[in-house]
Amino acid sequence: MNVWVYDSDDKLNEAGAGIISGIVQTNPRAVLGLATGGTPVGIYKQLVGDFERGMFSFRGVTTFNLDEYVGLPENHPESYRAYMNEHLFRHIDLPSGQAHIPDGNAPDLEAECRRYDERIEDAGQLDLQLLGLGHNGHIGFNEPAHALIKGTHVVDLAEETRKANARFFPSLDEVPRQALTMGVGTILKSKTILLVVKGADKADIVRRALQGPITTDCPASLLQTHPHLVVLLDRAAAEKLS
């Protein structure tokens, strides 16, 4: 595990984008696992800037997003498809057919989960998986549980997770209650995992995830078992690490 702590958002975002762009420059046909939420926005902005400066191309890259809400139209402003289009996809040269996001409106959600896993398997091992960290230790939408599911699956979102995401919606009642999420088994198969966490409100869960016992009650703690985990933290998020 490599843990890096930064004193500014700009430096952290530059470091995160540099890790991703370095993989793409080394392997123009890289397979990337992408995340949404507030944490990666600055990283995506830095990537777009680097792309516009001609540093690399996404033309040969394939991407798989971690998750998508169930029941939100694809063009809903809070769908993760809309998020990715807004913050990354529409600014770069990634062909649309190479950008994969689970279909939360599929008529058969279980079949959609199987289809998504098959596409990931066909693309080969993820070269990098970008992750944020939920307040309850979830990664993707893999919530704390007695056992975690290996592949893509339908998940009932914890009330804590819904409340955390309510800031993006007019009210808590409008936050979806289910999502499709990539499983922990798929995440852990990635060659590199890049975990990015910001803010003092995440300091406790950062300590549990990185230095606490490995338990499904804190799904992110399973990342301790990964041979190439890179963690980028701001000073506030790292405050309670020993």
Has residue 242 been placed in a domain? Answer: no
pLDDT attached to residue 168: 84
For residue 199, the domain's CATH number is 3.40.50.1360
Q: Is the dihedral of CA 147, 153, 154, 155 positive or negative?
A: positive
Nearest to 54 by CA among 6, 21, 16, 98: 21
Q: Where do the H-state alpha helices sit in 64-217?
A: 80-87, 109-123, 159-165, 184-188, 203-211
Has residue 199 been placed in a domain? Answer: yes
pLDDT attached to residue 18: 97
pLDDT attached to residue 134: 94
pLDDT attached to residue 15: 98
Could you give the CA distance from residue 224 to residue 203 in angstroms, rounded to a whole number? 17
pLDDT attached to residue 114: 97
Could you give the CA distance from residue 28 to residue 25 in angstroms, rounded to a whole number? 6
Has residue 219 been placed in a domain? Answer: yes
Structural domain for 46, as ranges:
2-234
pLDDT attached to residue 71: 93
Has residue 240 been placed in a domain? Answer: no
pLDDT attached to residue 154: 96
Task: Collect all residues with Cβ–Cβ distance below 8 Å to 58 and sequence separation of at least 6.
Answer: 24, 51, 92, 93, 94
Has residue 209 been placed in a domain? Answer: yes
pTM metric for this prediction: 0.94
Number of domains in the chain: 1
pLDDT attached to residue 67: 96
pLDDT attached to residue 206: 98
pLDDT attached to residue 165: 84
pLDDT attached to residue 161: 86
Mean pLDDT by 10 residues, the chain (242 residues): 97 98 97 96 98 96 97 90 97 97 96 98 96 95 90 91 86 90 96 98 98 97 98 98 92
Has residue 133 been placed in a domain? Answer: yes
pLDDT attached to residue 166: 86
pLDDT attached to residue 33: 98
**Residues with active-site annotation:** 67, 136, 138, 143
Has residue 239 been placed in a domain? Answer: no
pLDDT attached to residue 158: 84
Q: Which residue do the tokens 């209650």 mark? A: 177
Has residue 59 been placed in a domain? Answer: yes
